Amino acid sequence: MTLKTRLAIYLGVVHAAVVAVLLWQRAALGWFLFPLELAVLASFLIGLRWVRALAVQADIARTFTDVIGAGEYGARYPLVGSREVDDVIGIYNRILETLQQERFRVGEQRGFAEKFLQDTPAGVVIFDFDGRITLANPRARVLLGVAQDADLASRALGELCSPVGKALAALASDETRMVTDATGRRLRCRAASFMDRGFSRSYVLIEELTAELNRSERETYEKLIRMMSHEVTNTVAATNSLLESCRTYAKEIAGAESRADYQNALDVLITRNRSLNEFTKGFSDLVKLPEPQRESVDVREMLSAMQTMFRAELERRNIAFQVSVADDLPAVSMDRNQMDQVLMNVIKNAVEAIEHDGRIEITAGRGAGLVVLSVSDTGVGLSDEVKARLFTPFYTSKRQGQGLGLTVVKEILTQHGFGFALETSGGKTRFRIEMPAP
């Protein structure tokens, strides 16, 4: 039963009781009975009018609740002609207009945020209150090395099979750290937090700075190498010229033994100078690396040449060398000389990692529109610290290394537009090269 019906019944009962009392006392009231009956009737009609007005206000309040509950903020309620009610309706309509504008604003901001997260070159990972992933934009998935369609919801970073994910999981709040992944990409990672409904939630921002850092490093070491090469070359040329001139004085030294010692000392100095010149030339070659001169190259033939080139060294060290190439492998567009240099550096590193009694496997096959070439060895493997710095210029884990081999490899593969990665798993170290298939 509605409030309007209950009030109408109440008015009817009360006024009926008053009329009954008047009729019961009609003899005592005399001529006052008729005016009192008219007054009771007027009171009843006025009460009904107020009940109707109250019912209208109740209906309006119920309509307000339904409209707001349904989220139909575009609706507007017409005025009814009552000043009190129209004031409430006016305020209600203004509230709806404000809510509608706020919805538009929030919707536009949400749309912008979703569009920004989809298109931004930075990776963004947002977590729930328990540190589980609720959102990872496409770029974050690429940098974490997970598939775009992989379900990351409610997973922790440490649970991902990703070295970058594990490094991110170790970040403290408001900490920024540089991370290098298996492909040599340089990532600046920052962990931060924001407030959501009064509670703190965290997120991670991942920016790839590979190109910027590589360009900055290249400019720095090119300048250093040019200056060093200029000084060393000029000095070596001058000193070797003087040393060659000194050889003419050997005949003036008395005693065959002293003369031999003198000539031997000059030979050693000249040889060491030439070694220094060759050492410097290795740095100079890195700076002067030309653009790739592409041609169609048979990968099987290229790997066969590598096998022939290293056969004697491998036999001496008792290292097995196996090459496996898919039958349907197409030719690849590349600079043959530069790719030979890449493979020689990678295989040489594998040989040095094994030293003696091991195995090197080279495979080449197709996958996802790519020709994938991998070189794996059973050497000592690489620590996370070494892997993080391996592609850094002048860094080496070898006692007598220059730190240029993998830097040259990275430069050549980058100029070719080939993807690459260095991985260690299952007791093997694998260098993978991904080349676009024609």
Q: What is the pLDDT of residue 196?
A: 78
Report the distance separating Cα 49 and Cα 80, nearest Å: 15
Q: Which CATH architecture has domain 295-436?
A: 2-Layer Sandwich (3.30)
Question: Is the domain covering 120-208 a CATH 3.30.450.20 domain?
Answer: yes
pLDDT in tens, 242-295: 777 777 777 777 777 777 777 777 777 877 777 777 666 666 665 666 788 899
Q: What is the pLDDT of residue 134?
A: 85
By CB atoms closer than 10 A (0-12, 13-18, 19+), residue 145 is middle
Domain ranges in the chain are 3-109, 120-208, 212-287, 295-436
> Phi and psi (nearest 5°) for 244?
-65, -40
Beta strands 332-334 and 370-377: pairing type?
unpaired
The tokens for 272 are 């060491």
* C-alpha separations of 151 from 115, 155, 319, 435 in Å: 20, 9, 43, 28
Report the distance separating Cα 303 and Cα 373, nearest Å: 10
By CB atoms closer than 10 A (0-12, 13-18, 19+), residue 334 is buried
CA 93 and chain centroid, separation:
46
By CB atoms closer than 10 A (0-12, 13-18, 19+), residue 5 is exposed
The alpha carbons of the chain give a radius of gyration, in whole angstroms, of: 43
Q: What is the pLDDT of residue 193?
A: 86
pLDDT in tens, 368-425: 789 999 999 887 766 565 555 555 554 455 544 444 567 778 888 888 889 888 877 7
User: Do the domains spanning 120-208 and 295-436 agree at the CATH topology level?
Assistant: no
By CB atoms closer than 10 A (0-12, 13-18, 19+), residue 395 is middle
Q: What is the pLDDT of residue 282?
A: 61
Residues of the chain with pLDDT under 50: 394-395, 399-403
Report the distance separating Cα 314 and Cα 151, nearest Å: 45
